[in-house]
Amino acid sequence: MESQEFRRFGKEVIDLIADYIENVRDRNVLPSVEPGYLLKMLPEEAPEQPEHWHDVVKDVHNTILPGLTHWQSPQFHAFYPAGHSYASILGSMLNDGLSIIGLSWKASPVCTELEVITMNWFGKLLGLPEEFLNCSPGPGGGVIQGSASESTLIALLVAKDKTIRRLNIVDHIDDEDEIKPKLVAYTSDQCNSSVEKAGLLGSMKIKLLKTDANGRLRGETLKKAIEEDKAMGLIPCFVTATLGTTATCAFDPLYELGPICNRENVWLHVDAAYAGPVFMCPEYRHLMKGIEYVSSIVTNPHKWMLVNFDCSAMWLKDGRDIKRAFDVKRIYLDDTENNLNIPDYRHWQIPLGRRFRSLKLWTVMRIHGAEGLRKHIRSQISLALHFAKLVGADDRFLIEPEPSMGLVCFRLKDGDKTTQQLLENLTRKKKIFMVAGLYRTRYVIRFVVCSALTTKEDVEYSWDVIKIETDLMYTNLIHTLPQIKTMDEILSREMYEKLQ
């Protein structure tokens, strides 16, 4: 493609994207395709002859868009948000257009330096202790990774390396193979799947400790587990606490876990993938009380902070740990000696190559400003509370636990089976998309305010869809009443009769 064509087609693509976003509300949030649909529509071989861009665009409309689940639809309430903003897309385009790979400072000085600056900006916005920032006099610093999963794996690997070094020096255990099988990591039974996976990938036993009634990992529980394991000759090494769990958005008390980890020489990593940006608003900072005990923390601007996937922000209190763990020397990769605390980021990550991800973090922070970002967070929380108010006014439903951030968990009083049926019916109709969670072994539906386009009217529309589906379910039940046997079903009969 020639540059003249690129200019023309590029503008058309921008229009296509803006049209898509402006009208995404009118589409069903879930697509109507069967598995394998695309295999039937696209040729089996790559084209031999170059094709025209407009033929590609035709296929985008006919074959690509129909297979999308519309994450930016205001009726998308599943999982957690996929960050999106025009400012971020423009930053991503610049990244693609400038086409650099920042594998060392010299490979593109700005790639390292803008990352240092944006991570300082973002860390300050969150109110992180200064020692985590590159601009502090100490060895701390921030880095952008691709995902929270990657960040957590990195933290675990660094903790493993650090523990082995300490035992080498302090306890004079030279045989690594003697140490490694004894290392053990801890997290809670509410952890994200990626935390468990980090244990698998990093070959470390990982224990999912039981949470309290509110889904939080408590200090006493951790202390007891560590004591028991030490008594059995195991070596506690790594703890992941969660600020904003995936199921119910619970916050582990760092002020309880932190002192135990510090005392035991255990690395405390914080997974705040979704909820982290809330700390931009000072009224929520009490939820990270104890952050000063932490060794590393990750949060995803690509979830709740209007930055497009992928952009995962990770800070370490001591960047020397990561460099010691991951440093592999090669003559063609000369490290820049500097006393400005400018890190060689290739030692801070798994791949060698790095994307210029800070560009989109930079464009988003500049175009929205801290004020705009805080407003976004607060407005999404208030939309979630509005939804909770609507659900709470319908006595067929129960909200449990308390809404947290942009998440409201609710269920039918009738029981798990009916709640599950409701979610299945709603998903089949494709108008709104939510997924299930577990709260104290009860089946709940998770409603998350995800799209930045969501308005109060959208939330009311989503609630209307849920309410109508529920009405329909109870009306249908009457036809099947004679066969009803289980307690849930009897309850639903009572519920139904009460409604009459």
Ligand X SMILES: *Cc1c(COP(=O)(O)O)cnc(C)c1O
Chain positions contacting ligand X, by CB under 6 A: 80, 147-149, 192, 194, 242, 244, 246, 271, 273-274, 300, 312
126 vs 148, which CB is nearer to ligand X?
148
Q: In angstroms, give the least distance from the CB of 84 to ligand X.
A: 15
112 vs 242, which CB is nearer to ligand X?
242
Question: Which amino acid is located at 73 in the chain?
Answer: S
Residue with tokens 């799947």: 193
Q: In angstroms, give the least distance from the CB of 497 to ligand X.
A: 41
Nearest to 437 by CA among 470, 466, 411, 473: 411
Q: How far apart are CA 9 and CA 63, in angstroms?
A: 19
Give the list of residues 6+ apart from residue 455 with CB closer than 8 angstroms, or none: 74, 383
Q: How far apart are CA 151 and CA 349, in angstroms?
A: 8
Nearest to 376 by CA among 84, 75, 115: 84
Tokens of 33: 């395709």
Question: Which amino acid is located at 338 in the chain?
Answer: N
Q: How far apart are CA 2 and CA 53, in angstroms?
A: 11
Size of the chain, expressed as the number of residues it contains: 500
Residues 34 and 70 sit within 8 Å (Cβ to Cβ): no
Residue with tokens 């577990």: 438
158 vs 422, which CB is nearer to ligand X?
158
Q: Where are the alpha helices (DSSP H) in 393-429?
A: 416-429
Q: In angstroms, give the least distance from the CB of 83 to ligand X.
A: 11
Give the list of residues 6+ apart from residue 179 with CB closer than 8 angstroms, or none: 163, 164, 167, 173, 235
Q: In angstroms, give the least distance from the CB of 223 to ligand X.
A: 23
Q: How far apart are CA 268 and CA 261, in angstroms?
A: 6
Helix, strand, or coil here: 87?
helix
191 vs 412, which CB is nearer to ligand X?
191
Give the list of residues 6+ apart from residue 236 with CB closer than 8 angstroms, or none: 184, 186, 226, 229, 230, 264, 266
359 vs 407, which CB is nearer to ligand X?
407
Q: In angstroms, give the least distance from the CB of 278 to ligand X.
A: 12
Give the helix, strand, coil percentages of the chain, each rounded to 5.
Answer: 50, 15, 35
Q: In angstroms, give the least distance from the CB of 249 to ligand X.
A: 9
323 vs 354, which CB is nearer to ligand X?
354
The angle subtended at Cα 29 by Cα 24 and Cα 30, nearest 5°, is 135
164 vs 247, which CB is nearer to ligand X?
247
140 vs 406, which CB is nearer to ligand X?
406
Q: In angstroms, give the least distance from the CB of 315 to ligand X.
A: 15
251 vs 362, which CB is nearer to ligand X?
251
138 vs 253, which CB is nearer to ligand X?
253
Nearest to 91 by CA among 357, 413, 480: 357
Give the list of residues 6+ apart from residue 258 with CB closer than 8 angstroms, or none: 268, 290, 292, 293, 294
Q: In angstroms, give the least distance from the CB of 78 to ligand X.
A: 12
Q: In angstroms, give the least distance from the CB of 149 to ligand X.
A: 3
Q: In angstroms, give the least distance from the CB of 414 to ligand X.
A: 29
72 vs 152, which CB is nearer to ligand X?
152
194 vs 419, which CB is nearer to ligand X?
194
Cα distances from 248 to residues 19, 218, 251, 437, in angstroms, run: 34, 16, 9, 8
Q: In angstroms, give the least distance from the CB of 309 to ligand X.
A: 8
| Burial of residue 417 (number of CB atoms within 10 Å: 0-12, 13-18, 19+) | middle
Q: How far apart are CA 400 and CA 71, in angstroms?
A: 25
Strand partners, 103: none
Q: In angstroms, give the least distance from the CB of 217 to ligand X.
A: 13
Q: How far apart are CA 248 and CA 192, in angstroms?
A: 11
